[in-house]
Amino acid sequence: MVLPLSLIYIATPLRNDFDIKIIDQRVDNDWRNTLKKELRSGKTICAGISSMTGPQISGAIESASIIKKLSPALPLVWGGVHPSLTPEETIKDDHVDIVVIGDGEETFTELVHVIQNEGDKKAVKGIIYKDNRTIIRTPPRQPFHIGKLGVPAYDLIDIRKYKIQPTWVGENSLPILTSRGCPMRCSYCYNTQFSQRQWTSLTPEQSVALINTFVQKYNIKNIFLLDDNFFVNTKRVTRICNLLIENKMHINIYNANCRADSIAKMGVEYLRLIRKAGFKQLLVGVESGSDKILSRIKKDITLHQVLTGSTNMKNAGIKPIYSFMAGFPFESVEDIKQTLSLMNRLSKENQEAFVYKLQLYTPFPGTDLFDYATRHGMKFPQSLYEWANYHYGRLNYEGFTNKHKKFLKDMHYYTMFFNKKLSGHRNLISSLYSRLLTLRINHRFYSCMYELYPVTLLYKIRSRFRGTYL
């Protein structure tokens, strides 16, 4: 489970002036009473709530309801991805008083001081708020430069409650950010709206110092990178690698997010350098095996670059982790089959490669593809409450034929068997399904997939139990 970094980061600039309490519903089974106890202290200036799009909103609304009931005058400040993507819609909800749009480090800090001093909220850039019945939106704020923050206040949470184990790694790792945002234009990605395609980073010296601080403080050797695109500036990465080697850090770095075109350009020698520095895994979002689809979603990579990068990583001894999506509004069944063929090829060419199962595309509000789907008749939630039922494991586009939908759902289930290593005691079953899937893809035979019925039935039962449906 990933640390609540969004809350940690906005709390860091405030901790010298205020007492901060982070309540994480995911790890605190008694979070309702924890929240009530804090409210009854009578010392709370405001309550900040962060949420992604989807089921997280349910928990956010419940916590806001508790706050409204016990402390009706306490300002409720919402932030995070979903409120930032839909600020005008979010502010209309009765559980919301103020929305922080985009990065919150500077905005929330200024806002808390204004609330404390009963000042004018119009002076705070990057928010939308209610003034009686009037909704006021202030001028936008530029994305926060991550290098201005200093050491994030990880000590505000109990690290022991969070277990992050990278793929194929049996040891815990510590999530770290060395950069934020991405300059690319992928039409499905929330970052094009949230970060406005701007990228900020720590310097190489700051990055290595931060890693060293946490290595010493928490006695860990595994780092889990959460940068949106770690390799935007390869000269910066080179300097980071050289510093890690010179300082004999001897750490393992996992989940470094990298584009396929970047890996193709790097070459084997460069990849061997980052391998020597401790980078064990690269996370590569390929998304599709169709050049046509890659062009339509503005991914700006080609299949040739993906395959070149695959060879380079294999020769450099770096384990690639690949992710794929299907279900784009303009995607054909043939396009999906091309994606399956590429997934199979990448898995076959490098036995160390890990291929995530085929994910179903889910439109993010504010993105180009969200607007495209809206123009082509797709209906989306119209309120904060409705967005709580928006799931990422669900096929959200309704313009496909029933046959097309069934194929998508079947492949969503079936492709989890690309990776037998995840199955543990179910390895025999997984091995059998993996062989059958490979056979089907090689011969492009997708009819009569009766062997998939037990798997789909199991998923449906589990989905109903969790309250999500495909």
Read off the CATH number of the domain in which 85 is found. Answer: 3.40.50.280
d(CA 218, CA 174): 9
322 lies in the same domain as 173: yes
Q: Are 418 and 424 in contact (CB under 8 A)?
A: no
CATH for 258: 3.20.20.70
Which of 376, 398, 420 is where one domain is finished?
Answer: 398
Q: Are residues 231 and 298 in the same domain?
A: yes
Place of tokens 């990880």: 154
Q: 321 and 358 share a domain?
A: yes
Residue type, 285: G
Residue 426 pLDDT: 55
Answer yes or no: is 429 within a domain: no
Do both 165 and 133 map to the same domain? no
Give me the phi and psi of 377, to 5 degrees please.
Answer: 100, 0
Does residue 85 belong to any structural domain of this protein?
Answer: yes
Query: Is 150 among the domain residues?
Result: no
Q: Closest Cα partner for 168 from 291, 312, 351?
A: 351
Q: Would you tell me how many other CB atoms lie within 10 Å of the CB of residue 90? A: 23
127 and 234 in a single domain? The answer is: no
DSSP string across 364-427 = PTTSHHHHHHHHTT-----SHHHHTT--TTS-----S-HHHHHHHHHHHHHGGGG-GGG-GGGH
Measure the CA dihedral 43/45/50/54, to 10°: 90
Answer with the one of 398, 424, 451 that is the final residue of a domain.
Answer: 398
Q: Which of 73, 54, 51 is nearest to 63 (CA)?
A: 51
Could you give the number of structural domains in the chain?
A: 2
- Helix-helix angle 234-246:260-277, to 10 degrees: 10
Q: What is the spatial distance between Cα 439 and Cα 445, in angstroms, rounded to a whole number?
A: 8
Residues 227 and 95 both lie in one domain: no
Query: What tokens were used for 169?
Result: 């790694």
What's the pLDDT score for residue 464?
A: 63
How many other β-carbons are positioned within 10 Å of the β-carbon of residue 112?
21
Give the type of residue at 83. Answer: P
Q: Measured between alpha carbons, how far is residue 252 from residues 137, 155, 240, 315, 388 in Å?
A: 45, 22, 14, 19, 37
Strands (E), 138-202: 174-176, 179-181, 199-201
Tell whether 443 is covered by a domain: no
Task: Give the helix ranges, DSSP H, for 158-280.
Answer: 191-194, 204-218, 234-246, 260-277
* DSSP conformation class of 279: B
Distance of CA 286 to the CA centre of its chain: 15
* pTM for the structure as a whole: 0.92
Answer yes or no: do 208 and 331 share one domain: yes
Longest Cα pair distance anywhere in the chain, in angstroms?
70
- pLDDT at position 448 is 87
Answer with the one of 398, 433, 455 that is the final residue of a domain.
Answer: 398
Would you state the pLDDT for residue 123? Answer: 96
pLDDT tens, residue order, the chain (470 aa): 789 999 999 999 999 999 999 999 999 999 999 999 999 998 899 999 999 999 999 999 999 999 999 999 999 999 999 999 999 999 999 999 999 999 999 999 999 999 999 999 999 999 999 998 899 999 999 999 999 999 999 999 999 888 787 776 777 899 999 999 999 999 999 999 999 999 999 999 999 999 999 999 999 999 999 999 999 999 999 999 999 999 999 999 999 999 999 999 999 999 999 999 999 999 999 999 999 999 999 999 999 999 999 999 999 999 999 999 999 999 999 999 999 999 999 999 998 999 999 999 988 898 999 999 899 888 899 999 999 988 776 777 778 899 999 999 999 989 988 876 544 445 677 788 888 999 999 999 998 888 898 888 877 776 665 554 44
Q: What is the pLDDT of residue 470?
A: 46
For position 453, what pLDDT does the model report? 87
Torsion angles phi and psi, residue 53, rounded to 5: -70, 135
Please check whether residues 238 and 334 belong to one and the same domain. Answer: yes
Residues 124 and 173 in one domain: no
Would strands 179-181 and 199-201 be described as parallel, antiparallel, or unpaired?
antiparallel
Nearest to 240 by CA among 268, 269, 202: 202
Q: Tell me, yes or no, whether 20 and 160 share the same domain.
A: no
Dist CA 125 CA 121 (whole Å): 9
Domain range for 102 is: 5-137
Domain co-membership, 122 together with 167: no
Distance, in Å, from the CA atom of 202 to the CA atom of 317, rounded to the nearest integer, reads: 27
Judge whether 456 lies within some domain.
Answer: no
